[in-house]
Structure 1
Amino acid sequence: MSTHAEGDVIAAESVEASCAAAQEASVPAAPDADRAIASRTRTFDTPRLRKDFAAQDAFLYLEDFLAPEVTAQLAHSARALLDEVNRNYLPGHKQGGSVSRHTIDRLAPFVAELYRSKELIGWLEQLSGDKLQVSPPDDPHAYALYYYTRPGDHIGWHYDTSYYDGRRYTLLLGVIDDSSCRLDYELHTRNPDVPDQPGSVQYPPGSLVFFDGDKLRHRVTPAGENEMRVSLTFEYVTDPNMRPWRRFISNMKDAIAYFGFRQVFRQLAARGKERA
């Protein structure tokens, strides 16, 4: 090989190495979830927030919750999972995309680490006054990413109904928001002694919404042209048991409205084989 040819090979290898290094540098290093959560929650007036949560009938919104490095990691994961999004459309109620915890477990393990953070769960327990548990491993909704990436993507008015024997709390985290979408909600709808109280937030990346799923009536307004919104939900329960008929209803809802039959029932079949 000539000296000129050898130089070309070395130059090409150098360019490839530089590109690889640049690509790696663009991927944020995953932070320690417990440490990152603790760094934020220790700055909050948690007793006051607990009073706010109770006064608003199990609802709290914080515009600035996550540490910046956590938000950056979640945004990177959300973009990396775009090819895994399952699109769905329910006329008059819902249009958008979802990625279930089963896919997240394979491709974005930091999300699962954050979900199980003892610091996060302990702080949420202080707010709610309940002992919280993670959802069972076959629940695709335990943690999931929700994508609003096409004009008209939205979800209509609903409750996050618990099919478990106990309560189910929802934690929403803002991940990406280049959109005009808003989270509209109504407080006290289950309390006949208190008038309904409407509200609306356009929660940005790093923000938090925490509520009892059976109490908060809420929706996400439609996305416009060239908009993108991604949110992350965590579900925690006070009792992880679920009666068989409720499990069937929950699985069918998840398969039709969110993650697809293959994602939901393939995982159930796999769990059955593991138990066998």
Structure 2
Amino acid sequence: MSDTATPDNTLTQAAQEAHGAHTTPSARPSKRDIDSTLSARLAALPTPKLRDEYGQQSSFLYIEDFLPRDFTERLIAAVHDVTPAVNRNYLPGHKAGGSVSRHTLDKLAPFIADLYRSEALIKWLEALTGDRLQLSPEDDPHAYALYFYTRPGDHIGWHYDTSYYEGRRYTLLLGVIDDSSCALEYELHTKTPGVPDEPGSVRYPPGAFVFFDGDKLRHRVTPLGENEMRVSLTFEYVTNPNMRPFQRFISNMKDSIAYFGFRQVFRRNRGKNGQA
């Protein structure tokens, strides 16, 4: 079930308050400035130690203080800018919440697209994984997206970020707003033979970083409480951008029903066919 592009009054008020509580960012930085700022930040991290930790945890890593503060401020501002475009979905027994796809972010919050494409960030993630990472295809609404938890009970149940691509798909989560009691709960090693499952839980604040192989980490987000709000940003990177036609159909239907609505998911196909 979906409430397509229906603004949530509670969300609007909360987003305005969150935006107003922070300094308004200056003009949008250039891609070169984004790369330069991220390069400096990433150079200060103990990458070899983090790479070892990532491997020991079966392709999972959490860093509480990751983004430069200015970048976090810009993401919070983006929440305010895209609030009217949130598409809410409810799937009984699985999830409830709102989403804004990369197609809408391209129009309303282009800083997010620039951050997603940062060469400095991608090279650093490649150092963690040992894989050559590529951007998700332009027609993938999940490539970068904002996820909103704004009504009591909003959550997502246990799942894997299953890749429909022919290669691996990696998920990067960035905290944007977290005025909530929600937790990201997960289980490590579920796909590692001979290694016991290891449960864990994090509540990632604004600017925090979570990174994992989507096919390996079983995880969920616990339900939102009263008068709470949580917004996170997701980036998806792949090792092979090819997808078979049937897998593409399954992926599109899942995204349409569970996240972004049919209009957002199939908008490019309509455009190619000459339909508005």
TM-score, scaled relative to structure 1: 0.88
Does residue 44 of structure 1 match 2:41? no
Counting aligned pairs with the same residue, the percent is 69
User: Counterpart of 1:28?
Assistant: 25
Structure with greater Cα Rg: 1
Amino acid at match of 1:76: A
TM-score, scaled relative to structure 2: 0.88
Contact 1:57 1:188 in 2 (8 A): yes
User: Counterpart of 1:13?
Assistant: none
**1: distance between equivalents of 2:230 and 2:217?**
21
User: Counterpart of 2:9?
Assistant: none
Does residue 70 of structure 1 match 2:67? no
User: Counterpart of 1:270?
Assistant: 271
Following superposition, the deviation at residue 79 of structure 1 comes to 1.8
Following superposition, the deviation at residue 78 of structure 1 comes to 1.1
User: Counterpart of 2:172?
Assistant: 171
> Is the partner of 1:57 in helix, strand or coil?
coil
User: Counterpart of 1:85?
Assistant: 86
**2: distance between equivalents of 1:237 and 1:130?**
9
User: Counterpart of 2:207?
Assistant: 206
Where in structure 2 are the equivalents of 1:157-236 lying within 5 Å?
157-236=158-237
**2: distance between equivalents of 1:224 and 1:272?**
44
**2: distance between equivalents of 1:166 and 1:266?**
25
Amino acid at match of 1:28: P
**2: distance between equivalents of 1:214 and 1:187?**
11
Unaligned runs of 5+ in 1: 1-22
1:65-99 Cα shifts (integer Å, max 9, x gaps): 00000000001001221111000000000000000
Amino acid at match of 2:165: Y
Following superposition, the deviation at residue 268 of structure 1 comes to 2.6
User: Counterpart of 1:153?
Assistant: 154
User: Counterpart of 2:4?
Assistant: none
> Is the partner of 2:266 in helix, strand or coil?
helix
Unaligned runs of 5+ in 2: 1-19
The runs of at least 4 consecutive aligned structure 1 residues that moved more than 3 Å come to: 271-274
1:202-251 Cα shifts (integer Å, max 9, x gaps): 00000000000000000000001111100000000000000000000000
Relative to its length, the structure with more helix (as a share) is 1
Does residue 248 of structure 1 match 2:249? yes
